[in-house]
Amino acid sequence: MLIANRGEIAVRVIRTCRHLGIETVLTVSDADAGSVPAALADRAIRIGPASAAESYLNVEAVVGAAVEAGADAIHPGYGFLAENPRLAQACEAAGIVFIGPGAEVLEAAGDKLAARGHAIAAGLPVLPGGMVADAGEAHALAGRIGYPVLVKAAGGGGGRGLRVVREPGQLADAVAMAGAEAEAAFGDPRVYLERYASAARHVEVQLLGDGRNVIHLGDRDCSVQRRYQKVIEEAPAPLLGETLRVSMRAAAVAFGQHLKYTGLGTVEFLVDPAREAFWFLEVNARIQVEHPVTEMVTGVDLVAEQIGVAEGRGLRLAQVGVGFAGHAIECRINAEDPAADFRPSPGIVTEAVFPAGPGIRVDTHVQAGSAVPAQYDSLLAKLIVTGADRTSALARLRGALARCRIEGVATNLPLLAALAGDAGLAAGGVDTGYLARWLEGAGRG
């Protein structure tokens, strides 16, 4: 299998491949030739310079590497080309299995505007909004929806290319910048607007399908975000009414069935628990960064299931066979400095010590000596803890964070440690504005 990615997800996929006895080939840019995933893969193939546009986003280079290596399949990880229909099409043309949904589903899911349309068709509630071609259209639509509005990239995802606009004067700039971010990250500058729902929670449902049957693997709460980047995720979503939880899971499965979904996918919702209401946000047609929390409470290896479906073996799991036990929490440890407005901190990691023990999992791609290039995202490691219940998981998280030590680059570990001890987070059910308010209160916003 060729793994067309880098970082911790490359390590994660290699781990399951090794368990399954699958030989791995990793694509690397010049900046990653000396990376840990490059060392762990059975083979690494250089596909271009450090710039992602010329390496990890280069469909021809990736498929060329797969052909050269004689790979049977490509795992795209998340980000980069994971949701790019061109890669799926190129794989098909080259007779290589693409581990993910087909190109048509990727078109429908990856284009957030098309996904909105499919959600409506599948009977899911959506927020008022629509596409805008220029600043003039944006002003007209925002006027109808009412401020604040959210500017979103149609080709975006993973929180990039999102901006809240509170007044008309900021709209034109926001539309241009969101388009630029999306163009750079995803090669598609289209943007659309949606009403900005404040005080809502971000809850998502994990789907697994084989094109005929679609099941869910429960929900995750990812409300602890800063500028739409998830920081802490947990499963199951806490303090969610059973009726609401069941409705959301059913809506997600209905959406998956509507798309005849194949592989792993996540349906993201905004949730207003007080009103028992939820709205479709987007669907992510790939493995998520936060997938480990689902793995920890279900005991299912999502990458193994993803590979199983890609091999055309059909779902091995039935909905009734998916059980849920305990509570899992994940923290994203990033190379960024919370004391300097979260300035990214590329550099060389000089020391990387992580906690170990029962109920603790660390997914990382860094060790002492690892380079953290400026060209890619800042995720260094994910710390995942489990407990019999949420309270014990949080207690374990506090102890585990205290034992993390990363030197050489600035990290958000101090922030994570502070949050793990925060009464608001411990109470559960925080909304997506929680972290921004907390940072303001801590005088760090």
Partner 1 sequence: MDLTNEDVADILALLDSLPYDELDLQTTRFRLTLRRTPDGWTQSTQVPVAPGVTETGGDGEEASRTGGEGGQAGGAGGQGLVAVRAPLPGTFYRAPRPGAAPFVEVGTRVRADTVVAIVETMKLMNSVHAGADGTVAEICLGNAELAEHGATLMRIRADP
Residues labelled as active-site residues: 286
- The C-alpha torsion from 191 through 193 and 198 to 200, rounded to 10°, is -70
Among 34, 117, 168, 314, binds partner 1 (CB under 8 A): 34
Q: Cβ of 432: how many Cβ atoms within 10 Å?
A: 21
Residue 43 found at the interface with partner 1 (CB under 8 A): no
Among 143, 312, 314, 369, binds partner 1 (CB under 8 A): 369
Q: How far is the CB of 115 from partner 1 (least distance, A)?
A: 22
Among 22, 23, 30, 392, binds partner 1 (CB under 8 A): 30
Q: How far is the CB of 244 from partner 1 (least distance, A)?
A: 32
The answer to whether 307 and 23 have CB atoms below 8 angstroms apart is no
Q: What is the side-by-side order of every strand in the sheet holding 327-334?
A: 277-284, 262-272, 201-210, 214-226, 229-235, 327-334, 379-387, 360-364
Q: Cβ of 254: how many Cβ atoms within 10 Å?
A: 16
The answer to whether 151 and 175 have CB atoms below 8 angstroms apart is yes
Residue 393 found at the interface with partner 1 (CB under 8 A): no
Interacting span for partner 1 (CB under 8 A) from 30-38, 90-98, 263-271, 417-425:
30-38
Residue 440 to residues 163, 335, 341, Cα–Cα distance (Å): 19, 21, 11
Interacting span for partner 1 (CB under 8 A) from 66-74, 149-157, 193-201, 362-370:
362-370
Q: Which long-range contacts (CB under 8 A, 24 or more apart) does 162-166 make?
A: 162/227, 162/228, 164/196
Nearer to partner 1, 203 or 289 (CB): 289
Among 320, 358, 423, 443, binds partner 1 (CB under 8 A): 358
Three-state SS letters, 376-434: CCCEEEEEEEEECCHHHHHHHHHHHHHCCEEECCCCCHHHHHHHHCCHHHHHCCCCCCH
Among 2, 4, 9, 11, binds partner 1 (CB under 8 A): 11
Among 371, 395, 417, 426, binds partner 1 (CB under 8 A): 371
Interacting span for partner 1 (CB under 8 A) from 120-128, 147-155, 203-211, 341-349:
341-349
Extract the tokens encoding 259. Answer: 């798309």
Residue 42 found at the interface with partner 1 (CB under 8 A): no
Residues 146-205 that bind partner 1 (CB under 8 A): 160, 173, 176-177, 179-181, 183-185, 189
Tell me how far apart the terminal alpha carbons of the chain are, to the nearest angstrom.
Answer: 44
Interatomic CA distance for residues 275 and 144, integer angstroms: 24
Nearer to partner 1, 126 or 418 (CB): 418
Q: How far is the CB of 248 from partner 1 (least distance, A)?
A: 29
Interatomic CA distance for residues 231 and 383, integer angstroms: 11
Interacting span for partner 1 (CB under 8 A) from 131-139, 198-206, 263-271, 402-410:
402-410
Q: Which of 286, 291, 204, 294 has the alpha carbon at shortest distance from 248? A: 204
Residue 436 found at the interface with partner 1 (CB under 8 A): no
Among 39, 199, 250, 427, binds partner 1 (CB under 8 A): 39
Nearer to partner 1, 34 or 312 (CB): 34
Chain centroid, CA 294 distance in Å: 13
Interacting span for partner 1 (CB under 8 A) from 109-117, 279-287, 340-348, 407-415:
340-348
Residue numbers at the binding site for partner 1 (CB under 8 A): 11, 15, 19, 30-36, 38-40, 44, 49-51, 160, 173, 176-177, 179-181, 183-185, 189, 335-336, 343-344, 346, 348, 351-358, 360-362, 364-365, 367-371, 373-378, 399-400, 402-403, 405
